[in-house]
Amino acid sequence: MDHAADAMRTDLMTITRFVLNEQSKFPEARGDLTILLNHIVLGCKFVCSSVSKAGLAKLIGLAGDTNVQGEEQKKLDVLSNDVFIKALSSSGRTNVLVSEELEEAVFVDEKLRGRYCVVFDPLDGSSNIDCGVSIGTIFGIYMLKEGSAGTLNDVLQPGKNMIAAGYCMYGSSCTLVLSTGTGVNGFTLDPSLGEFILTHPDIQIPKKGKIYSVNEGNAKNWDEPTRKFVENCKFPQDGSSPKSLRYIGSMVADVHRTLLYGGIFMYPADKKSPNGKLRVLYEVFPMSFLVEQAGGMAFTGKGRALDIVPTKIHQRSPIFLGSYDDVEQIKALTCFFPRVLCGS
């Protein structure tokens, strides 16, 4: 096919077409989720463009503020947060919004209020901005509880109640991975078209992987199951080959690789951080939702990640997620060391 004909191809599955197709499977659907997802996609395109121009636009550098967790905010974090708050509220479909960058939840103006609540990390992995390593946006979507006009309880729901989740990775290409509860699909932004194209249909995480991903600098403070698990990765006792270690330090990129190649990503509890580091609502839940939808497993060290009932919007939890067999191993170890878990 020559270039002109290629440019005219109409069989490309754009994310818009894909989401409309999904919507058409539910005759009672009013198109609200489709509109909301379109606004999220727009936000991702905007942040993608800003991230790729960050050096040029001199956006890199401290914004001179600290966020809820006491971390320094970079300008791109601030910008991305503003972009998503505007994109989500202007959709006219959202009600309660929770962002990693904002201490309090946002209750959308009455005139623009809809039935959906969105929890999101506008720019995760921001310590990687200055060196150009992949970073990303993570989001999860809940429906308002029956009869609710929009309160904090609508976002303090277990992850299994999410109706959709996804992330957009700003890396060597801009990739959006989405699940509306019927599998996981990946789309890559074609900059010449300004459209996300379906490039990774029906992502299935391999049942067992060859990679483990963890910040080993924290090993001194790990509990016994985590220590033993990582030791087994390096010195397997069953005659299998040792696993490779890959750790980017950017959850979106580490989870993306885990979804495609298999293996395990973990941010465990340790003596210094008994709840781990990652936040339940907008990091642990959306990624666990995607991993389960892709056939993998997500475990907190105590139970299924999506079963957590959060009590605070910025709550943290340890997380082990990835290939089913690999997560089964850490589950077995937590039961083997009863001091820690399994109710013994």
Binding partner of 277, given Mg ion, ligand AHM, none, CB within 5-8 angstroms per partner class? ligand AHM
Nearer to Mg ion, 22 or 121 (CB): 121
Q: Binding to ligand AHM (CB under 6 A): which residues in 199-238?
A: 215
Query: How many of the chain's residues bind Mg ion (CB under 5 A)?
Result: 2
Our finding on whether 101 is near Mg ion (CB under 5 A) is no
Nearer to Mg ion, 141 or 144 (CB): 141
Our finding on whether 71 is near ligand AHM (CB under 6 A) is yes
Nearer to ligand AHM, 18 or 265 (CB): 265
Q: Which residue lies nearest Mg ion, judged by its C-beta?
A: 124
Q: Can you tell me the distance from the alpha carbon of 23 to that of 17, in angstroms, rounded to the nearest whole number?
A: 10
> Which part of the chain contacts Mg ion (CB under 5 A), choosing from 18-26, 70-78, 115-123, 216-224?
115-123
SS (H, E, C) 266-330: EECCECCCCCCCCEHHHHHHHHHHHHHHCCCEEECCCCEHHHCCCCCCCCECCEEEECHHHHHHH
* DSSP conformational letter for 240: P
Half-sphere exposure of 333 (CA within 13 A, CB side): 21
Q: Strand, coil or helix: what is 245?
A: strand
Pairing of strands 94-99, 116-124: parallel
Our finding on whether 80 is near ligand AHM (CB under 6 A) is no
Our finding on whether 250 is near ligand AHM (CB under 6 A) is yes
Q: Binding to ligand AHM (CB under 6 A): which residues in 97-116?
A: 100
Rounded to a whole number of angstroms, the minimum distance from the CB of residue 217 to ligand AHM is: 7
Phi, psi of 297 (to 5 degrees): -140, 150
Cα of 290 vs its chain's centroid, Å: 8
> Which part of the chain contacts ligand AHM (CB under 6 A), choosing from 110-118, 140-148, 156-164, 245-253?
245-253
Our finding on whether 274 is near ligand AHM (CB under 6 A) is no
Pairing of strands 319-322, 297-299: antiparallel
End-to-end CA distance of the chain: 65
Nearer to Mg ion, 114 or 136 (CB): 136
Our finding on whether 126 is near ligand AHM (CB under 6 A) is yes
Could you tell me the two tokens for 97? 């919004």
Q: What are the residues binding ligand AHM (CB under 6 A)? A: 71, 100, 121, 124-126, 215, 249-251, 254, 267, 277
